[in-house]
Amino acid sequence: MSVTVRPATDADVPVLAELMSGAIPRHPVTPQRWAHEVGELRGHPLGLHVAQWLAEEGGVALGVALALQLPGIYHPDRYWAEVLVPPQHGRRGVGGALAGVLEGHLRGRGARELLSGAYEDQPWAVAFLTRRGFSGALRSFDNVLQLTDFDASAWAEEARLPDGLRAVSLAELAVEVGMDAAIAAFHAAFAEVREDVPRSSPPTPHSLESFRDHLLNAPHFFPEGILLAVTDAGEVVALSELERKGTDPARLDTGLMGTRRAWRRRGLALALKLGTLRLAQSMGVREVWTGNADTNLPMLALNERLGYRPRPAYLEMRWGGV
């Protein structure tokens, strides 16, 4: 019996999520979250391209291929391309069959730059991409903090914000000024901070409207976990996000964390990060995950001081260029 590849449909979302989680167990995805993310891409005002395929043998799903245009690093000729096969289905030609369909599809669209990636403790996956002309673009680490080992009291001084600033969650700020105004203040800081995050491609601005829709419609929206440093005038000058992304209720992920340029070197982001860790502890969370590029040496050093420990590195890879 041979492996066949067909386009995936919305009815396949549970199978897609299961296969993606099996291929990348460090970052499992729920069907609800994947359906939401694909729906956001399809409905984006940039008119993003989304294509998905399933490899099957005898009616059993074995792997997934994706071709996506990402709004955060958009270019009309740039695509995120990925082949995901859980280990139990490897070494059967599944990846090659999916890659053949994916490559033909992207050639037909005139793609000039492809981004993909693999973990360095999966050398076969890195080799799979290297054979197809990909090379390294950005190396990053998952860093994991075991909260049972974290002593918040040892960081009491660093957890204090300077005079004139207060720490509030997005949920608390929404009670004070309304959700739309709170999101607008959050967006102003978020848009500036994300411009300085190390990445393989230049960032595309997020409009306030798309940012608000992304937040409010996300199945993992967690406004209590978004901690903001706010001035007396109501300006958000620093932020630290906790996110519920995966399938484990005892785990939270860190989203964007940082400070607006005019307010840096005052310990604001660290104070907010400590606030999110205290919140996670109060919720009974066991682990907090974060990701950092290996070029972000100050953040890697800070995470090590806090007790985060690195996992195997993720190598983002690029073919071509725009």
Does any domain span residue 259? Answer: yes
Confidence of residue 206 (pLDDT cuts 50, 70, 90): confident
Of 211, 210, 201, 214, nearest to 73 (Cα)? Answer: 201
Provide the domain count of the chain: 2
308 and 235, same domain (yes or no)? yes
Which tens digits make up the pLDDT trace of 10-25? 999 999 999 999 999 9
Which tens digits make up the pLDDT trace of 116-168? 999 999 999 999 999 999 999 999 999 999 999 899 999 999 999 999 999 99
Element (H, E) at 256: strand 251-259
105 and 167, same domain (yes or no)? no
Element (H, E) at 227: strand 226-231
Spell out the residues 6+ positions from residue 273 whose beta carbon is closer than 8 angstroms to its own.
240, 254, 257, 306
Q: Rounded to an integer, what distance in angstroms lies between the CA atom of residue 105 and that of residue 102?
A: 5
CATH number at residue 29: 3.40.630.30
What pLDDT, on a 0 to 100 scale, did the predictor assign at position 90? 87
* Overall pTM surpassing 0.75 (yes/no): yes
List of long-range contacts for 263-271, beta carbons under 8 Å, 24+ apart = 263/229, 263/237, 263/238, 266/162, 267/158, 267/162, 268/161, 268/162, 268/165, 268/229, 268/237, 268/238, 269/238, 269/239, 269/240, 270/158, 270/302, 271/158, 271/159, 271/160, 271/161, 271/167, 271/229, 271/238
DSSP labels for 4-73? EEEE--GGGHHHHHHHHHHH-TTS---HHHHHHHHHHHHT-TT---EEEEEEEETTEEEEEEEEE--GGG
Does any domain span residue 205? Answer: yes
- Of 87, 111, 135, the residue that ends a domain is 111
Mean pLDDT of 172-194: 97
Three-class DSSP category at 242:
strand
What pLDDT, on a 0 to 100 scale, did the predictor assign at position 224? 97
What pLDDT, on a 0 to 100 scale, did the predictor assign at position 91? 86
Does any domain span residue 178? Answer: yes
Domain housing 260: 143-313
191 and 294, same domain (yes or no)? yes
64 and 161, same domain (yes or no)? no
Mean pLDDT of 245-274: 93
- Of 59, 89, 111, the residue that ends a domain is 111
Strand ranges of the sheet holding 113-119, from the earlier edge strand across to the other edge: 4-7, 50-57, 60-68, 78-84, 113-119, 309-320, 135-146, 287-293, 251-259, 236-243, 226-231, 165-169
Q: Residues 241, 257: contact at Cβ < 8 Å?
A: yes
Q: Residues 123, 313: contact at Cβ < 8 Å?
A: no
DSSP labels for 264-312? -SSSHHHHHHHHHHHHHHHTT--EEEEEEETT-HHHHHHHHHHT-EEEE
Q: Residue 297 pLDDT > 70, yes or no?
A: yes
Mean pLDDT of 246-257: 91
Does any domain span residue 130? Answer: no
Calculate the CA 210 to chain-centre distance: 17
296 and 148, same domain (yes or no)? yes
Mean pLDDT of the chain: 95
13 and 104, same domain (yes or no)? yes
Which tens digits make up the pLDDT trace of 225-245? 999 999 999 999 999 999 998
Confidence of residue 246 (pLDDT cuts 50, 70, 90): confident
Which tens digits make up the pLDDT trace of 79-117? 999 999 999 998 889 999 999 999 999 999 999 999 999
Which one-letter amino acid corresponds to residue 29?
Answer: V
Mean pLDDT of 27-50: 95
DSSP conformation class of 156: T
54 and 162, same domain (yes or no)? no
